[in-house]
Amino acid sequence: MSSSNINRPISRRNFLKWSGAAATAATVGGQPRVLHALTAAEGAAAGEDTAEKVFSICDMCLNKCGLIARVEDGVVAKLDPNPKFLKSRGMLCARGNAGIAQLYDPDRLKYPLLRKGKRGEGKWQRVSWEQALDYAAEKLAAIADQYTRCGVLFSPGSDTQSQFVHRFASVFGSWNVVTHESNCLISRNRAYLDTFGEVPFADVLHSKYIVMAGANRFEALITPDSIDLMTARKNGQKLVVLDPRYTKTAALADEWYPVRPGTDLAFFLALAHVIINEKLYDADYAAEKLSGMEELTAHVQPYTPEWAEKETEIPARHIRRIARELAAAAPASMIYPGRRTSDYVNSTQIRRAMAIVNALLGNWDQPGGLLAARQVGLSSPSLPDAPWYDDNMMERADHGRAHMMFEEEGSFKHMRDAIIEGEPYPVKGWFVYKMNPLQSGANQAKTLQMIEKLDFMMSVDIAMSDTAWMSDLVLPAPSYLERLDPISGLQGSAACACVATRVPAVPALFESRPVLWILKELANRLDLGEYFDFDMEWYRKEQLKDLPDAEKALAEDGVYYNPSKLYGIYEGKIYRTKSKKIELHNVRYKEMGLDPIPVYTPPKPIPSDKFRLVLGRNAMFTHCTTNHNRLLNQFMSENTLWIHPDSADRLGIGDGDPVVVKSPVGRESLKAELKPGIRKDTVYMASGWGALSKGLSGVHNTGACVAALMEDYADALSGNMAMHETFVSVARKGAA
Ligand SMILES: Nc1nc2c(c(=O)[nH]1)N[C@H]1C(S)=C(S)[C@@H](COP(=O)(O)OP(=O)(O)OC[C@H]3O[C@@H](n4cnc5c(=O)[nH]c(N)nc54)[C@H](O)[C@@H]3O)O[C@H]1N2
Ligand SMILES: Nc1nc2c(c(=O)[nH]1)N[C@H]1C(S)=C(S)[C@@H](COP(=O)(O)OP(=O)(O)OC[C@H]3O[C@@H](n4cnc5c(=O)[nH]c(N)nc54)[C@H](O)[C@@H]3O)O[C@H]1N2
Ligand code: SF4
Ligand SMILES: [Mo]
C-alpha cells in the first residue's frame, strides 16, 4: 500500500483487500495460504456465518481486555469484545478493534534479518532461523566470556511471555534486566509500597469523589477504571482534575485546574494540612492504622492552602473546599493513584503525598477507595533453579544510582548512563523483547550513544521499530492473535479476580516465532537447555493446577473468576511496612537520610523565552507503537505542537504553521496547533512520531519525535525517568 493511501478511510472490504495485498507481499516469506484464505473470507462474509470464534485477550495495550476473534477460513475477520469479561466491562476500545490491522500489517517483520551496513543504515540480509540463532548464541557467549555474564542487558517489555526473558537472563547469569517500568510507573509503586506496603488498585466504580492529578483516564485507558469512571459519574460521583492541559478527562470533570506543572506536591500537602487541622479524619482509625500522625501534623503546618495557591495557581478557597468535600465523602473518596509517573525528579515524593492524603481519608481496603490485590489462585510452575556463576559481577550495573531502585526492574536512564560510562563494568550486549526504548526513553541521542558502545544488539519485535532498526539482529515475533501464552491473572478492582487465556486465533504468520521458542533455542546452543526443558502447554497446565474449574470456564467463557474477598482483606492483618502500619512518616527513609515525609521543593522556574514540554496519550494510540496502524492512523496522521494562542501570537506563529522546537538535547520540526486549553507556559506533543525506521510507513519522517527532545532526568528515589523536566524554545520555521 502506498503512503498516499494511508489517510483514506478503509471499509471492511477494502481492509481485507489490502490485507490481501500485504499477504501477497508476504509470499516472499512463504505464506501464500493467507492470500487464499482472505479471498475465501470475503466470500464467507457475504453468506452464512461459518466463523470460528476464539477467546483471547487483547494486547494492543497492557490492559488485557477479553476478546473473541472471529476467524473465517483461517483469517481473523473481526475482533469482538467478550461479554463475560468484567474487567473490560464487555468492550474493546478503538485500538482493540484495530488489532486486526496489526496482525495483517504490511510493515510486519517476516523473517530474521541480519544487519549488513552500518547500524541504522537499513541494509539487511535475510537469514534462516538456524543462522540467526547460531549467530546470536555466539555473540552472547563471546560477551559473557570477555565481560562476564552481566555484560548482557536484557529488556523484556510488558508482555505475558516476558517472564521467560527474565528467566533466561537469570539462567544466562545477568542481573542486568531493565523493564519498561522505569519509563512508566515505578515511582508510584515505590510511593505506595513505602506507605501501604502494597501497590493498590482503585475502586473507581464505588468512589463518590475522585481527585485525579497527572492522569488522563478518558484518553489513557485503564480498564475497568476508564469505563467505571464514566458509569460512576452518571451515578453522581464528583471528579476534580489537575492537568496543565484541558484533556478529555478534564472536559468531562466537574472541576479542572490547570495546575502549574511540577507543583502538585504543594496541593496535596495543603489538602493534608486542612484535613489534619480541621480534624476531618477518623481519629480512631488514625490511632489504630496510621504511623507518624504526630510528625505529619507538625510537618504540614506551614503548608497552608494560601501558601499552596502561590505555588500551584489553584485558589486557596478551592483547595480548602476540596479537602472538606473529600473528607465528607470518605472513605469512598480518593486521590487517584495514577499510573505513568515518569514525570518529575521528585515523583516518588509527589506520589507519597497523594498516598498520605489517601491514608488520611481512611480509604484503604474499603468500598470506593484503594484496594489490595486479590488472590486469583494461579500457581507458579516449578522450574530448576538458575545456576550460580562464581566469576560473575555481584551487582547490577546501575546499582546505587538511585536511592530506592527496584532491583528487578532497574532504571533505563541509569543503566544507559552506566553503559555509556563503562562503569562500574562494561555491558556490551543488549537483548530487547517488545520494547522500543529509542522512542520510549527520554533523550534519544543518548540511547544512540549507548548503542554505539555495544558489541551486539538484538530485537524481537513484530515490526521494524526504531529499536529494531538500530539492532544487529532482528527476529520476527508473532502478534498476540497468533500466540499461545501463559495464563494471565488479573487481580485488581471490583471487576476482577480472574484468569484469562490467550490461544492463537490463527497460526503464526510468515516465519515469526514466539520468544519462548527463541529462548529455548538459544538456551540449547548455550548449554543451558535443561533450564528451559518445558513447553507452553505444560506451563499453562501447571499454572492452573490448583484451579480445577478453570480449564472448563476458560474454554466456555474465555475467563475464569475466582470468587475472592474484595474488601476487608487487611482485617486483622498487619501492613507490609517497617512499622507494620500505614506509614505517613517513613521510617526507612528516615534511616537512609531521605525525607520521611515529602518536603516541597519548587520546580525549576521556566525561563521566559521557553516552555515546559509535557507528554500525554491519545485514546487511539498506544505509546510509540500503534501510530502506523492503518486503521488508527486515520484519526491522526502526524503529531502537532499544542501551544496556547497567546504564546503563539507572541512568537508570530499561526495555527498550522511549521515550527522548530529546540531543547538542550534535540531539535525537531512539526506543525503548530493553537490550543486555548493548554497553559501558556507549557507545550505538548503526542509520542511515537518522527520514527528513524524506514520500516514504519506513515511514521518515518512524519511529525516530530518527542523522545529526541526530552532530557533525561530521573526521580531521585526510584530512578524512574522524569519526562516533564525539559524546557524547549519554539520558533516559526524559517524565523529560527
Ligand atoms: N490510549 C492509551 N491508553 C493507555 C496507554 C496508551 O499508550 N494509550 N498506555 C497505558 C500505560 S502504559 C500507562 S502508564 C497509562 C498512562 O496513564 P496516564 O498517566 O493517565 O497518562 P498520560 O496521558 O501520560 O497522562 C499524564 C497527564 O499528566 C499531565 N501532566 C503533565 N505535567 C503535570 C503536572 O505537573 N501535574 C499534573 N497534575 N498533570 C501533569 C499531562 O498533561 C497528561 O495529560 O495509560 C495506559 N493506557
Ligand atoms: N515518548 C514517550 N515515551 C514514553 C511514554 C510516553 O508517553 N511518551 N510513556 C512511558 C510509558 S508509561 C511506558 S509504559 C513506556 C512504553 O514503552 P515500551 O515499553 O518501549 O513500549 P512500546 O513503545 O509500546 O513498544 C513496544 C514494542 O513492542 C512491539 N510489539 C508489539 N506487539 C508485540 C508482540 O506481540 N511481540 C513482540 N515481540 N513485539 C511486539 C512494538 O512494535 C514496539 O516496538 O514508554 C514510556 N516512555
Ligand atoms: S484498552 Fe483497548 S487496546 Fe488496551 S487491551 Fe483493552 S481493548 Fe485492547
Ligand atoms: Mo506505562
What tens digit of pLDDT does each residue of 3-32 get? Answer: 333 233 333 333 333 333 333 333 323 332
Residue 220 and residue 286 in one domain: yes
Give the residue, out of 57, 63, 67, 103, with the most ligand 3 atoms within 8 A of its beta carbon, to mutate for a pocket test: 63
Do residues 391 and 500 make contact, with C-beta atoms less than 8 angstroms apart?
no
Confidence tier at 404 by pLDDT (50, 70, 90): very high
Examine the fold and report which residue of 58, 86, 103 is the final residue of a domain before the chain moves on: 103
Q: Answer whether residue 332 is part of any domain.
A: yes
pLDDT of residue 6: 27
60 lines ligand 1 (CB under 6 A): no
Cell triple for 148: 562476564
Do residues 683 and 702 make contact, with C-beta atoms less than 8 angstroms apart?
no
Ligand located closest to 338 CA: 1
Q: What is the mean pLDDT of residues 166-190?
A: 97
pLDDT of residue 336: 98
Residue 625 and residue 582 in one domain: no
Which CATH number do you get for residue 676? 2.40.40.20
pLDDT of residue 98: 97
Length of the chain: 736
Number of structural domains found in the chain? 3
Average pLDDT, the chain: 92
Residue 682 has pLDDT above 50, yes or no: yes
pLDDT of residue 309: 98
405 lines ligand 1 (CB under 6 A): no
Within 6 Å (CB) of ligand 3, which residues are found?
58, 60-61, 63-65, 88, 92-93, 95-96, 221, 223
* Ligand 4 centroid, distance to 340 Cα (angstroms): 5
Q: How many CB atoms lie within 10 A of CB 533?
A: 12
- For residue 436, give the ligand 2 atom closest to its CA: 20
Residue 224 and residue 354 in one domain: yes
Residue 361 and residue 220 in one domain: yes
185 lines ligand 1 (CB under 6 A): yes
Contacts with 408 (C-beta within 8 Å, 6 or more apart), sequence order = 166, 177, 179
* Ligand 3 centroid, distance to 55 Cα (angstroms): 15
Residue that the C-alpha cell 482509625 belongs to: 285
Residue 208 and residue 322 in one domain: yes
Confidence tier at 329 by pLDDT (50, 70, 90): very high
Q: Answer whether residue 704 is part of any domain.
A: yes
Q: Answer whether residue 662 is part of any domain.
A: yes
Task: Give kind and range of the element (H or E) at residue 45.
Answer: helix 32-46
pLDDT of residue 353: 98
Residue 648 has pLDDT above 70, yes or no: yes
Q: What is the mean pLDDT of residues 674-692?
A: 97
Do residues 402 and 715 make contact, with C-beta atoms less than 8 angstroms apart?
yes
Better-scored residue on pLDDT, 317 or 37: 317
pLDDT of residue 46: 54
- The strand pair at 333-335 and 667-674 is best described as unpaired
Q: Answer whether residue 457 is part of any domain.
A: no
Q: What is the mean pLDDT of residues 106-124?
A: 96
Residue 578 and residue 622 in one domain: no
220 lines ligand 1 (CB under 6 A): yes
Question: Of 156, 107, 103, 98, whose CA–CA distance to 482 is shortest?
Answer: 103
pLDDT per position as a tens digit, 699-711:
998 999 999 999 9
Within 6 Å (CB) of ligand 2, which residues are found?
59, 157-158, 180, 183-184, 340, 342, 433-437, 439-440, 460-463, 465, 477, 479-480, 615, 622-625, 687, 706-707
Considering the chain, what percentage of its residues have pLDDT values greater than 70?
93
Q: Supply the residue whose CA is at minimum distance from atom 34 of ligand 1.
A: 261
pLDDT of residue 495: 79
Q: Give dist(CA 395, CA 628) in Å, integer.
A: 39
Q: What is the mean pLDDT of residues 435-445?
A: 98
Residue 64 has pLDDT above 70, yes or no: yes
Q: Supply the residue whose CA is at minimum distance from atom 41 of ligand 2.
A: 625
Residue 44 has pLDDT above 70, yes or no: no
Q: Supply the residue whose CA is at minimum distance from atom 24 of ligand 1.
A: 616
Residue 36 has pLDDT above 90, yes or no: no
Residue 622 and residue 726 in one domain: yes
Question: Of 189, 200, 194, 148, whose CA–CA distance to 172 is shortest?
Answer: 148
Q: Give dist(CA 343, CA 720) in Å, integer.
A: 8
Amino acid at residue number 428: K
- For residue 180, give the ligand 1 atom closest to its CA: 12
Confidence tier at 47 by pLDDT (50, 70, 90): low
Examine the fold and report which residue of 103, 121, 140 is the final residue of a domain before the chain moves on: 103
182 lines ligand 1 (CB under 6 A): no
Q: Give dist(CA 96, CA 66) in Å, integer.
A: 10
User: Residue 48 belongs to what domain range?
Assistant: 3-103
354 lines ligand 1 (CB under 6 A): no
Residue 98 and residue 211 in one domain: no
Q: Give dist(CA 28, CA 511) in Å, integer.
A: 10
Cell triple for 186: 515505578
Q: Give dist(CA 672, CA 656) in Å, integer.
A: 5
The model's pTM is: 0.93
Do residues 262 and 550 make contact, with C-beta atoms less than 8 angstroms apart?
no
Angle at CA 61, nearest 5°, toward 670 and 464? 60
Q: What is the mean pLDDT of residues 306-324?
A: 98
Cell triple for 437: 526504548
Tell me which residues have their CB within 5 A of the ion that is ligand 4: 184, 340
Q: What is the mean pLDDT of residues 473-502?
A: 93
Residue 583 and residue 698 in one domain: no
Residue 581 and residue 649 in one domain: no
pLDDT per position as a tens digit, 611-629:
999 999 999 999 988 899 9
619 lines ligand 1 (CB under 6 A): yes
Residue 98 and residue 45 in one domain: yes
Question: Of 434, 525, 439, whose CA–CA distance to 483 is shortest?
Answer: 434
Q: Answer whether residue 516 is part of any domain.
A: no
Residue 225 and residue 332 in one domain: yes
